[in-house]
Chain A
Amino acid sequence: MTATSVARTAALALGDDALVLSHRLGEWAGHAPVLEEEVALANIALDLLGQARILLSLVGDEDELAYLREERAFRNLQLVEQPNGDFAHTIARQLFFSTYQHLLYGRLAAGDGEFAPLAAKAVKETEYHRDHAEQWTLRLGDGTEESHARMQRAVDTLWRFTGEPFQPVEGLAEAPLVEEEWLASVTTVLERATLTVPEGPRTGAWAAGAGRQGLHTEPFGRMIAEMQHLHRSHPGATW
């Protein structure tokens, strides 16, 4: 099964989001604050990796796409490539992304496009991801003075990456349609968590471009260097 040319652009965008965030979450292995979170983040990463494999296979060879592309050939959002930071940072990134992904997959699942079967499957998983992020946002935001300050800082720092998900993508007309719902949902969670919804712009005027156009932030190069080095150093290596 391969995608039509229009859907390839969209499959690459959605597939790269899933792949890159899966890798970032995998970086927590051995470092998470408690064992249960170690397992939770790894499980979410595994769901995302499964999506990535299906989506990238619509475009071409999944291994070649993951391991042999240069930085500028990746089409993921800048949001998902942001470093893990502290746990609050990771949770804010999860809240922003999983809310977006859940709404988007919900729309795709209801349609009859090429992504409908995958979206119908994945939307049930992303509901758990979103719920996980929401519970932690409430706990950290409405927690101690320290956890509240850190959660607020994370929300403020990542806010400028939350406009990009709703930019139009060829073959993905649904993305801009979920922005209003996203903002309402995220606002509700942040307010319940006693956090302040940032007032700043959701897309930086300073930004040179967007991940969807292949323009990435500085930490991304180092992330894919680590992700790709084994495959590039030992071509054809298997377990």
Chain B
Amino acid sequence: MVTEQDTALEAELRRLAGTVPDPELPVLTLEELGVLRAVHVTGPGSVEVDLTPTYTGCPAIEAMSADIERILHESGGMAEVTVRTVLAPAWSTDDISDEGRRKLAEFGIAPPRTTREVSGGGPIPLSLAIRCPHCGSVDTELLSRFSSTACKALRRCVACREPFDHFKEL
């Protein structure tokens, strides 16, 4: 039976889990990245967390799980923390919050456009230009579809000549 106390506790645990930084993009929290799906209190001192991967093979998911377990154990006072990986519904870059997008740009990574802004809804030629996070120019070109991690593409700014990562739409 779910009591009001449980609901309040779940909200608090969710807030805590959401503060965990992404291990590969530490400027973002898991809440801002949008990978935290659900937090359920399953019994006294016992909680279950649903986490979704950004990419199927994303190696960061194991570090995220360990960090969630630790924070809910140490700061949330939960004795038993289970993190489950859920695939459906599939994560999309649309799940990254506005605050997350702002932080990415500040960090030097061009944030993903929402998939509504991309013509055809796929990774096909772009309708809305990608802005250089260094100088703000929209005159940028693709160097490689894959960059330092699976979720990013490598681009170069034609105006300031600096290369930069673009969090590509998924």
Contacts and interface: CB of A to CB of B under 8 A. Distances in A.
Nearest to B92: A124
For chain B, the bracket of interface size reads: 20 to 34
A132 interface: yes
B90 interface: yes
Interface in B116-148: 122-124, 143-148
Contacts of A31: none
Helix, strand, loop or mixed for chain B's interface? loop
B56 A51 contact: yes
Contacts of A121: 53, 56, 87-88, 90-91
Contact of A39 (B55, B87, B91, B147): B147
For the complex of A and B, list the 7 residue pairs with the smallest distance between their C-beta atoms, beginning with the closest. A50-B57, A50-B56, A117-B88, A36-B144, A40-B146, A43-B146, A121-B90
B59 interface: yes
B44 interface: no
10 contacts: A36-B154, A39-B144, A46-B59, A47-B56, A53-B57, A121-B90, A124-B170, A127-B122, A128-B145, A131-B145
Contacts of B146: 36, 39-40, 42-44, 128, 132
Which of B88, B143, B149, B168 has the most chain A CB atoms closer than 10 A to its own CB?
B88
Contacts of A117: 87-88, 90
Contacts of A53: 57
A43 B170 contact: no
Nearest to A120: B90
A233 B57 CA distance: 26
B55 A54 contact: no
Nearest to A34: B144
A5 B124 CA distance: 38
Contacts of A116: 88
Interface in B48-68: 53, 55-59
